[in-house]
């Protein structure tokens, strides 16, 4: 069910023209900084891929991809991407990118099964990025170092917004806090995962929660992860499982934690097979992507996605993602939002 939250006393700080100006400047500035920080070159990405290849992101394994037949390919089925987690790794191999360098792209997707609310839309826009590493980089310290570099680009972008619109004051802390999902569970044992995220992010402002996908001591994962891109089953230097995580920031308008990025060190052949076995999905090893990975035809990598509209929401102090991007919303949601001064594009 679609849900709308209208914060008490909410009034947009910027009009529509200022908002569009802010969106353009944020996107141009942030992607240039991200590219510089991680040494990424821009590439062109697909909107859809062929079904049955294993290239599309399966997210939590239950979301349905939007499919359509291709007339000039004997009605072969294509599907709109959910994200480009696996496609990027294929591209690193095909472009023969060297260690320490990578790619980024503007990813546009449709997630028809999304439950619509202030943060979730049918339309997804994010910067998808992937960087080549070697085996010595597959550790928690390298993951943290990469997160800090991304966060540095976020801080610089926040200052740009303040320079453009002085009515918007910087909110992000200078440093990002790291915590493993198991530590978070022990810290807030009486809360569900979302409640734990809200509590830790309100306390610190910006948090990276590590170890997403592996079962915790309560038998449940902090959140779902597909078994064939992030490595969530390898013990890290702190003794916990997982070389991935979610980057969360505190949204001062909605008063809640907002996930800006999901990222991680990617599976190698050993961890791919282990995670598929844990999920009972070894049949995926027959798919195109998985066969190439198991044959060591794909480089080791780290990568993730960074939500463009969510980042703009935060910087421009908007309460609804529909104030940033054009999408479809239930008529009742659009009308209620409009009556409260929240204009959905």
* Domain boundaries, given as residue ranges, for the chain: 16-49+82-339
Query: For the segment 9-50, what is each residue's pLDDT rounded down to a tens digit?
Result: 899 999 999 999 999 999 999 999 999 999 999 999 888 888
For 138, the token pair is: 């597959």
The torsion angles phi and psi of 320, rounded to 5 degrees, stand at -140, 140
Q: Is the dihedral of CA 49, 51, 54, 58 positive or negative?
A: positive
Query: For residues 153 and 30, what is the distance between their CA atoms, to the nearest angstrom?
Result: 6
Q: Are 327 and 123 in contact (CB under 8 A)?
A: yes
> Given phi > 0 = left and psi -120 to 50 = alpha, else beta, which region is 213?
left
* Share above pLDDT 70 across residues of the chain, in percent, rounded to a whole number: 97
**Angle, CA 173 vertex, CA 3 and CA 162 arms, to 5°:** 80
pLDDT of residue 310: 96
pLDDT of residue 196: 98
Average pLDDT value for residue range 187-206: 98
| CA distance readout (Å), 32 to 38, 97, 104 | 10, 19, 10
pLDDT of residue 331: 92
Query: For residues 334 and 111, what is the distance between their CA atoms, to the nearest angstrom?
Result: 19
pLDDT of residue 58: 65
Query: How does residue 290 score in pLDDT terms, banded at 50, 70 and 90?
Result: very high
User: Is it the case that residue 333 has pLDDT exceeding 60?
Assistant: yes
Whole-model pTM? 0.93
Query: How does residue 273 score in pLDDT terms, banded at 50, 70 and 90?
Result: very high
Average pLDDT value for residue range 239-255: 96
Using only C-alpha atoms, the chain has a radius of gyration, in whole angstroms, of 20
pLDDT of residue 62: 60
- CATH code for the domain defined by 16-49+82-339: 3.30.930.10
pLDDT of residue 110: 86
pLDDT of residue 12: 94
The torsion angles phi and psi of 318, rounded to 5 degrees, stand at -95, 150
The residue with greater pLDDT, 172 or 46, is: 172
Average pLDDT value for residue range 53-61: 69
Q: Are 143 and 210 in contact (CB under 8 A)?
A: yes
Query: How does residue 60 score in pLDDT terms, banded at 50, 70 and 90?
Result: low
Q: What is the mean pLDDT of the chain?
A: 93
pLDDT of residue 237: 83
Q: What residues have CB less than 8 Å from 253, skipping those under 6 apart?
A: 7, 10, 317, 318, 319
Long-range contacts of 288-296 (CB under 8 A, 24+ apart): 288/53, 288/54, 288/55, 289/53, 289/54, 289/55, 289/86, 289/89, 289/90, 289/228, 290/54, 290/228, 292/90, 292/93, 293/89, 293/267, 293/269, 294/269, 296/269
Query: For the segment 113-128, what is each residue's pLDDT rounded down to a tens digit?
Result: 888 999 999 999 999 9
Residues belonging to the active site:
57, 111, 126, 246, 259, 262
Average pLDDT value for residue range 173-189: 97
Average pLDDT value for residue range 188-208: 98
Query: For the segment 125-147, what is each residue's pLDDT rounded down to a tens digit?
Result: 999 999 999 999 999 999 999 99
245 burial via Cβ count (<10 Å: 0-12, 13-18, 19+): buried
């Amino acid at each position: 069910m679609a849900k709308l939250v209208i914060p008490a006393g909410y009034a947009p700080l910027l009009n529509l023209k200022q908002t569009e100006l802010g969106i353009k400047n944020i996107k141009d500035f942030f992607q240039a900084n991200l590219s510089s920080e991680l040494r990424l070159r821009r590439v062109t990405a697909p909107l859809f891929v062929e079904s049955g290849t294993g290239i599309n992101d399966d997210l939590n394994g239950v979301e349905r991809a939007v499919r359509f037949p291709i007339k000039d390919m004997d009605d072969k089925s294509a599907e709109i991407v959910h994200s480009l987690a696996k496609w990027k790794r294929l591209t690193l191999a095909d472009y023969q990118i060297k260690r320490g360098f990578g790619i980024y792209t503007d990813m546009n997707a449709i997630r028809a099964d999304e439950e619509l609310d202030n943060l979730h839309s049918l339309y997804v826009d994010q910067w998808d990025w992937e960087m080549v590493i070697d085996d010595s980089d597959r550790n928690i310290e390298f993951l943290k170092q990469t997160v800090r570099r991304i966060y540095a680009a976020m801080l610089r972008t926040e200052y740009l917004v303040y320079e453009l619109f002085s009515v918007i004051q910087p909110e992000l802390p200078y440093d990002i806090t790291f915590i493993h999902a198991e530590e978070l569970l022990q810290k807030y044992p009486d809360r569900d995962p979302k409640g734990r995220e809200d509590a830790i992010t309100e306390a610190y402002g910006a948090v990276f929660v590590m170890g997403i996908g592996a079962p915790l001591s309560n038998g449940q994962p902090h959140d779902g992860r597909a078994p064939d891109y992030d490595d969530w089953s390898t013990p890290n230097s702190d003794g916990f499982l997982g070389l991935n995580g979610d980057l969360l920031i505190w949204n001062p308008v909605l008063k809640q934690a907002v996930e800006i990025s999901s990222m991680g060190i990617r599976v190698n052949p050993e961890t791919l097979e282990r995670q598929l076995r844990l999920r009972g999905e070894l049949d995926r090893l027959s798919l195109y992507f998985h066969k190439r990975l198991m044959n060591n035809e794909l480089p080791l990598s780290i990568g993730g996605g960074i939500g463009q509209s969510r980042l703009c929401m935060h910087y421009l102090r908007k309460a609804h993602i529909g104030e940033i991007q054009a999408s479809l919303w239930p008529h009742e949601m659009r009308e209620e939002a409009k009556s409260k001064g929240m204009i959905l594009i």
